[in-house]
Amino acid sequence: MANRGYVVDFSIVALCILVMVVSRAEPDPTKMTTALLIRVDQSGKGDYPTIQEAIDAVPSNNSELVYIWVNAGIYTEKVVVPADKPFITLSGTNANETIIAWKESGEIYVSPVFTVLASDFVGRYLTIQNTYGSGAKAVALRVSGDRAAFYGCRILSHQDTLLDDIGRHYYRSCYIEGDTDFIFGNAASLFEKCHLHSLSDGAGAITAQGRVSPVDTGGFIFLDCKITGVKTAILGRPWGAYSRVVFAFTYMSGVVVPQGWDDWGDSSKQSTSYFGQYECYGAGAITSKRVGWSHDLTFQEAAPFLTKDFIGGMTWIRPSPRSFKKFSNTTN
């Protein structure tokens, strides 16, 4: 009888532990189909008049999809999505009409118009613009959360437009504009069907990737993209010693200079950086005059960079919600 008592007690303890583990497991974003809806409208017809107020209303440690729909307008505000507020989607209906704008220069972690610190964030059909102009660091968008995706967005500035900082990120059908190092950081990111436009009137740099070691998973992959510009630009230069950037199936206009890449005045980075292209086309895609330390990739070499597997996207890139329910802010 005593032995049976111990068995029963152990089973109960094990069951309690299992329940606790399951209850604390993170939700699977690919299977989340219903979202809480918050409306932002400057005219007062929505739930909140500013984007930041809508984000602030989301509970800390949120575990539900929250869909913040932003009506057309120019929202002159700095926006931060805190680290404790995952699973937010922020969406306009047309990027040309839903604009988040701010004018500020300074350090790269201070000047951003829009900062994402949370995981599982989605941005859709928005213009995010730092209106400071040229001549100083003026970040439009900083993405420092894991598993973030942007669709149909316009990201605009001059120097340091997009701080693609850390985490795994996916950009699709976005327009990104700047002049100097305007896509930079050390995230592991896939840019698919994006348009990169250089405003530089000299040899500006499109990318400055910051990978710092050979085991670092960071890198920028551009798949089926388009490059245009005002004058000339290089594809990238190594912000980190092990900088990694690959362009595949990308149209490169004559704005891309024949050398393609630059070592940023440090020849030691030529042997550690990984800069390559695969099956690109256009006047700027000719590889015969590329720097000798860049890579004209074979299919086998390019294959690891040609799918969402590079960012583990199949496990976290989520579909749009299929249904919505009313958001209720219980803190008010």
| Residue 237 near residue 263, CB atoms below 8 Å | yes
Q: Does the annotation count 181 as an active-site position? A: yes
Q: SS3 for 187?
A: coil
User: What is the C-alpha to C-alpha distance for residues 265 and 263, in angstroms, rounded to an integer?
Assistant: 5
- pLDDT of amino acid 26: 64
Give the chain's count of helices (H) and strands (E).
3, 27
Which structure tokens are listed for 169? Answer: 């990120």
How many CA atoms lie within 13 Å of 203's alpha carbon, on the beta-carbon side? 11
User: What is the C-alpha to C-alpha distance for residues 247 and 282, in angstroms, rounded to an integer?
Assistant: 13
- pLDDT of amino acid 6: 38
Q: SS3 for 209?
A: strand
**What are the residues whose beta carbons fall under 8 Å from the beta carbon of 184, sequence distance 6 or more?**
160, 162, 163, 164, 207, 208, 209, 210, 239
The alpha carbon dihedral of 122, 33, 194, 156 has a sign of negative
pLDDT tens over the chain, length 332 residues: 344 443 444 444 443 444 343 344 567 877 888 999 999 999 889 999 999 999 999 999 999 999 999 999 999 999 999 999 999 999 999 999 999 999 999 999 999 999 999 999 999 999 999 999 999 999 999 999 999 999 999 999 999 999 999 999 999 999 999 999 999 999 999 999 999 999 998 879 999 999 999 999 999 999 999 999 999 999 999 999 999 999 999 999 999 999 999 999 999 999 999 999 999 999 999 999 999 999 999 999 999 999 999 999 999 999 999 999 988 775 44
- pLDDT of amino acid 178: 98
Domain boundaries in the chain? 34-320
Q: CB neighbours (10 Å) of residue 266?
A: 12
Q: 34-320: what fold?
A: Pectate Lyase C-like (2.160.20)
Q: Which of 120, 160, 181, 263 is catalytic?
A: 181
Burial (CB count within 10 angstroms: exposed 0-12, middle 13-18, buried 19+), residue 23: exposed
- pLDDT of amino acid 261: 98
Task: Write the Ramachandran bin of 285: left for phi over 0, alpha for psi from -120 to 50, otherwise beta.
Answer: alpha
Q: CB neighbours (10 Å) of residue 156?
A: 24
| Residue 35 near residue 89, CB atoms below 8 Å | yes
Complete DSSP assignment for 60-88 = TT--SEEEEEE-SEEEES-EEE-TT--SE
- pLDDT of amino acid 32: 83
User: What is the C-alpha to C-alpha distance for residues 150 and 143, in angstroms, rounded to an integer?
Assistant: 10
